[in-house]
Amino acid sequence: MSVPAHIPGDPAHPAAAARVAVSARAGRLSGEATVPGDKSISHRALIMGALSVGKTAITGLLTGDDVLRTAHTMAALGAGVEEAAGPDGKSVWTVQGRGIGGLSAPQDVLDMGNSGTGARLISGLLSAYPFTSVLTGDASLRRRPMDRIIKPLSATGAKFNTSEGGRLPMTITGASLPLPLAYDSPVASAQVKSAVLLAGLHAPGLTTVTEPSASRDHTERMFRYFGVEVEVGPAPGMGAGAYKASIIGQPELTGRPVTVPGDPSSAAFLVVAALIVPGSHLIIRNVGVNPLRTGLFTTLQEMGADVAFLNPREEAGEPVADLEIKSSALKGIVVPAARAPSMIDEYPILAVAAAFAEGETRMEGLGELRVKESDRLTVMEKNLAACGVSARVSGDALIVRGGAPEGNTTVTIPVNLDHRIAMSFLVLGMAGNRPIAVDDSSAIGTSFPGFIPLMNGLGASITAADGQELS
């Protein structure tokens, strides 16, 4: 089967209908689970497959909307992208790549949906092709800044034309002879770093990017796995903790098999749910535990969480383990700003854990949360308060005082196209006495298709306001 013609939220097709979901206090959560494939690694596997010669077979690919957009985009740029059942019945995605420099002009606008990662990584790629493409996205993505990638990518010779404020929709006319880059990024952002490295893959010689501290290194690991010469290490003279990655451009890449581990950012919702719902005991198999992604687990352990890593192993250059979680009494701590890059997507669910901890949890250095799928700093402060939890923003810090939500009336949280806000508040509803509703559970399909049935199978009680089955 070739890539599905219908993807939720595609303007060419009806958008997934918003569904209200209500999470009521759960009994204990127990059992074994797996979570869908890592979103970051899934995007990169499709892109690297398209840039390689021959076949890349991907197992465990996340089939959330964000990644399906990237799959469609790779097909629109000339790669062959197909999904079929593998020998064990599990789905395998095959990419027939075109090689570096081999992609062709898309016939239509490229709609990245909700995906900042897709938009920014693919902009890096398109900056190195001498044709014009138009990129757009949903209302959330159209609010997010693109200047952070336009600035470095313009130095390759590519031209960008954005909507007001450096936003999507934008056109990119790539350079015919892309120049290698040396860029010092002011933010620790894997999206910025990866956009530069993907452009550099098409340029002759050395491309280097530094960042103030290391963001997730899935691009560097996957480049290496596909045979790119990659060097990483500290960035001398750029401050303590600064990081540098360099690559040699224009390699010949050959397709290869990729196994995508479960997404630690998705596992995070199960982990926190198990910690805060009394009497719970969960095993989550096959979770990616790249040290640049595990800041939440470290933080929870510091708060007193019983989270153990079992059977550590490596797959396609990425560390993987099984997680065992037992509900625990948590205490508030200070989470240092230096940890933010390793758990940047996990602050909404950490704030939920903090609501069930004794004392105050102070999460520092969260300026980047303002430019995610929603302004997560403001959104968490406001919605926790709406649930009766004491939360405030002070500068770039979020401070939450433990005190589970009480009351009989259901609180409804506006999701505003932010999947992680929807899942975080459904988890909050599992452990307090007060039912919590989210006004659009369909947004969860961005990163975690099947979240609600999975949680209900483990003991949660999430129901649809309209009485229909929730997917």
Active site residues: 345
Nearest approach in angstroms of CB 346 to ligand S3P is: 10
- Closest listed residue to residue 279, CA positions, set 24, 28, 27: 28
Measured between alpha carbons, how far is 438 from 432 in angstroms, rounded to an integer?
15
Q: What is the DSSP letter of 331?
A: B
Q: Which residues have a Cβ under 8 Å from the Cβ of 324 and sit 6 or more positions away? A: 281, 282, 283, 307, 308, 310
Nearer to ligand S3P, 23 or 191 (CB): 191
User: Which helix H or strand E contains 132, and what residues bound it?
Assistant: strand 132-136
Q: What is the DSSP letter of 228?
A: -
Nearer to ligand S3P, 2 or 378 (CB): 378
Angle at 127 between CA 124 and CA 128, to 5 degrees: 105
**Start-to-end Cα distance in the chain:** 23
| Contact by Cβ (8 Å): 216, 40 | yes
Give me the residue whose beta carbon is nearest to ligand S3P.
Answer: 40
Nearest approach in angstroms of CB 215 to ligand S3P is: 5
Name the residue type at position 136. T
Report residue 106 as tokens: 């898309």
Residue that has been written with the tokens 């690694």 in this structure: 41
| Contact by Cβ (8 Å): 116, 141 | yes
User: Which helix H or strand E contains 80, and what residues bound it?
Assistant: strand 80-85
Q: What is the DSSP letter of 39?
A: H
Go through the chain and tell me how many residues it has.
471
Parallel, antiparallel or unpaired: strands 461-464 and 436-438: unpaired
Complete edge-to-edge strand list for the sheet that includes strand 318-326: 30-34, 281-288, 318-326, 306-315
- Closest listed residue to residue 263, CA positions, set 224, 218, 226, 303: 218
Report residue 148 as tokens: 């952070």
Nearest approach in angstroms of CB 188 to ligand S3P is: 7
Q: Mapping DSSP to helix (H, G, I), strand (E, B) and coil, where does residue 449 land?
A: coil
Nearer to ligand S3P, 162 or 412 (CB): 162
Strands (E) across 174-296 are located at: 182-184, 206-211, 230-234, 243-248, 258-259, 281-288
Nearer to ligand S3P, 63 or 194 (CB): 194
Nearer to ligand S3P, 295 or 432 (CB): 295
Nearer to ligand S3P, 119 or 128 (CB): 119
Nearer to ligand S3P, 194 or 207 (CB): 194
Nearer to ligand S3P, 70 or 442 (CB): 70
Nearest approach in angstroms of CB 44 to ligand S3P is: 7
Q: Which residues pair with 245 in a beta bridge?
A: 209, 232
Which residues contribute to the site for ligand S3P (CB under 6 A)? 40, 117, 189-191, 194, 215-216, 344-345, 368
